[in-house]
Amino acid sequence: MKPQEIRGKDDQEILFDLQNLEKELFDMKFRSLMEGNPDPARIRRHRRDIARMKTILRERELRLRGQEPR
């Protein structure tokens, strides 16, 4: 997911998507341990999408407090 797509959503939508991605990531990791990992790039994409969402949420939180992100 691109950062522009994430920034176009409100906080509640991002949090909902974040929870879903974290659950999917957990399931994929569990399946990869049990069955082997047919697509390791998908796990990497999910991890990066989760990081992007958390970063954007943190940026918004800092702006609300009147602080600038580093």
The CATH number that applies at residue 27 is: 1.10.287.310
Query: pLDDT tens digits, residue range 2-32?
Result: 999 999 999 999 999 999 999 999 999 999 8
Domain contains 8:
yes
**Distance in angstroms (rounded) separating the CA atoms of residues 60 and 14:** 12
Q: Which residues form the domain of 9?
A: 3-64
Q: Is the pLDDT of residue 37 over 80?
A: no
The pTM (predicted TM-score) of the whole model is 0.85
The helix/strand/coil state of 5 is helix
Domain contains 69:
no
Residues 6+ apart with CB under 8 A from 64: none
Q: What is the mean pLDDT of the chain?
A: 91
What pLDDT does residue 51 have? 97
Q: Degrees (nearest 5) of the Cα angle 57, 52, 50?
A: 95
